[in-house]
Structure 1
Amino acid sequence: MSASLVLRRRLAGELRALRMQAGLSQETVAEYLDASAYKIVRIENAQSSIGMSDLRQLLALYKVDAETRERLIDLGRNARKRGGWWSSYRDVLPGPYVQLEAEASQLRNYEPSKVPGLLQTPDYAHAVVRASDPSISPEEADRRVTVRMKRQERLHEDDGPLELKVLVDEAVLHRYAGGPDVMRSQLEHLLHTSERPNVSLRVLPYEAGLYPAVGNPFAILTFAESVDPDVVLCENRVGERYFHDADEVAGFHADFAQMTKVSLSEDASVTLIKRVIAEMGG
């Protein structure tokens, strides 16, 4: 498994801190490397990797001590490594989310209209993929579903499985995807998966009324190492938007905490899901 993106973010943060500590502007650093300021911006935002030659030059410019130099050079080497199961699915992955999720230790996910990808059955996932893009080819739909199922392996790892906290609006339980049989199987899958100790599933009932972020799905990714800051993903039809700023991320944490307060307990959520299944008949 490759941790290149997470490590690149860590290196970017350290390089940005060293530059500021040295009292240098991005323009000054760019001139030193005979590069554009845009390149430095991308490196410090982890949007692109830094070459080892440039990294060594920057560490010399920032006058870091020998121990720090060796540590950051080693970090730079590891950050440039490529790989991971997702490499074979770059054509159906719009952004870096899957790489981040693969290295996260905890995920908080709010979904107002559909079951989160990590809890979807294959049939339900196919229905979601087809609904989001009716013109998609059967081959690409299969690849997208395969990625979704592959992601779910994080929940079942023996060593450090992903801790998943999910909030879904009650509407998710009533909005059929793929027909009654597919939906019934999906709801039963939710009951089964919610029994895992690393999975928390809670429903925001209609009675909760309006709440923070209502109707706007988001995911908060937290990492095991404290030096790796949380990331928030907001996704809609036009693409993905990521939030890294500490204050912005804190706002999403506050929303999730408030939404958790007005949601049903885990036991009450299970009871509601069972009731919905029973009302479906069959």
Structure 2
Amino acid sequence: MTTQQVAACLLISQPKISLLENGRRIIKPRDVRDLCGLYGVQDQRRVDDLMQMARESGRQGWWNAYDDIPYGAYIGLEAEAAAVRCYEPLVIPGLLQTSAYARAVIAGTIPPATAEQAATRLEIRMRRQDRLRTPGNPLRLWVVLDASALWRVVGSREVMREQLEHLTHLSAQPHITVQVLPHDAGAHPGVSGQFTLLEFAEATDGSVVYLERFTSDLYLEKRSDVRRYGDMYAHLQAQALSPDGTRSFIEEVIKVYAGPESSPDARALTLPRP
């Protein structure tokens, strides 16, 4: 059976089947039971053993200690990835956010969340950043950031100043690269929205494209899709400021946030391209 046929029989998405088969998504006992039924496994002891293995595997990831994580599948992929390439048009990516900035983003983007739910999301977001500090094997992160994200005042001017200072500090680390796409770049391949490319160390593991949505996220694994997004990202990198030019640009924006609110708006800043 093809993954499309399996997905149609179980009324689930084809990408989910692919993620399960490649070990990139935690499999639930119910999924094991349904798959065994579809594949004609008659030995109940065999089915029970597999379901027990699924229960045990589900406890391995730290994120499984939290209930109702809407993007638990993505965290699992991120935890196993060797490199992540991200384009973000509106906000600083979660892996690079300060606690104050992240708290303001969560409060603004998920209004129905209770205080407890917001606190859980904040804790998870901060813990994800441990992947950038893994001794000897930190996550290789490359971010192309639209200039709009620098000027969107999230929380307050002080929160933004602190966030941008944190961003320049992180971007100086050898395994983290940040490039800003200035407004004068005009139309570019990222106008359709945010996307993330996850790459894995094992040659047999293909890359995955992650598209974050408000209700249900998308995971693309077809080689043609991954290649297309890889080409888009290469174009974004080419149009963005260099890493050094980016740090200079951000430092100028920090001066605006650090100054009085009546200071001239620096959104018209343009730096010479290297």
Instruction: Give the alignment's TM-score, normalised by structure 2.
Output: 0.77
Aligned to 1:231: 208
Q: After the TM superposition, which residues 168-187 of structure 1 pair with which residues of structure 2 at under 5 Å, given as runs?
A: 168-187=145-164
> Residues of 2 paired with 1:243 and 1:80: CA distance?
27
Q: After the TM superposition, which residues 31-110 of structure 1 pair with which residues of structure 2 at under 5 Å, given as runs?
A: 37-38=9-10, 44-47=17-20, 48=27, 50=32, 81-83=57-59, 84-110=61-87
1:129 paired with 2:101, answer: no
Change (3 A) 1:150 1:242: same
> Could you tell me which of 139, 146, 164 is aligned with 2:116?
139
Aligned length in residues: 239
Q: Supply the AA of the counterpart residue of 2:57.
A: K
Deviation of residue 281 (structure 1)?
2.8
> Could you tell me which of 234, 248, 253 is aligned with 1:276?
253
> Residues of 1 paired with 2:159 and 2:192: CA distance?
24
Change (3 A) 1:39 1:207: closer
> Residues of 2 paired with 1:129 and 1:219: CA distance?
19
Q: After the TM superposition, which residues 4-15 of structure 1 pair with which residues of structure 2 at under 5 Å, given as runs?
A: none
Q: Supply the AA of the counterpart residue of 2:18.
A: N
> Residues of 2 paired with 1:134 and 1:202: CA distance?
30
Q: Supply the AA of the counterpart residue of 1:213.
A: G
> Residues of 1 paired with 2:55 and 2:67: CA distance?
18
Change (3 A) 1:266 1:79: farther
Deviation of residue 91 (structure 1)?
1.4
> Residues of 2 paired with 1:265 and 1:104: CA distance?
25
Aligned to 2:24: none
> Residues of 2 paired with 1:250 and 1:191: CA distance?
30
Unmatched 5+ residue regions in structure 2?
21-26, 41-52, 260-274
Q: Supply the AA of the counterpart residue of 1:147.
A: I
Q: 1:112 touches 1:215 (CA, 8 Å); kept in 2?
A: no
Q: What fraction of aligned residue pairs are identical, expressed as a percent?
A: 36
Q: 1:92 touches 1:143 (CA, 8 Å); kept in 2?
A: no
Instruction: Give the alignment's TM-score, normalised by structure 1.
Output: 0.75
Aligned to 2:90: 113
Aligned CA-pair RMSD? 3.2
> Could you tell me which of 191, 197, 209 is aligned with 2:186?
209
Single out whichever of 221-230 and 39-48 deviates more from structure 2.
39-48
> Could you tell me which of 250, 255, 258 is aligned with 2:227?
250
Change (3 A) 1:219 1:46: closer
1:192 paired with 2:169, answer: yes
> Residues of 1 paired with 2:105 and 2:160: CA distance?
11
Q: 1:92 touches 1:140 (CA, 8 Å); kept in 2?
A: no
Unmatched 5+ residue regions in structure 1?
1-14, 18-24, 28-35, 59-76
> Residues of 2 paired with 1:40 and 1:273: CA distance?
44
Q: 1:187 touches 1:273 (CA, 8 Å); kept in 2?
A: yes
Change (3 A) 1:161 1:79: farther
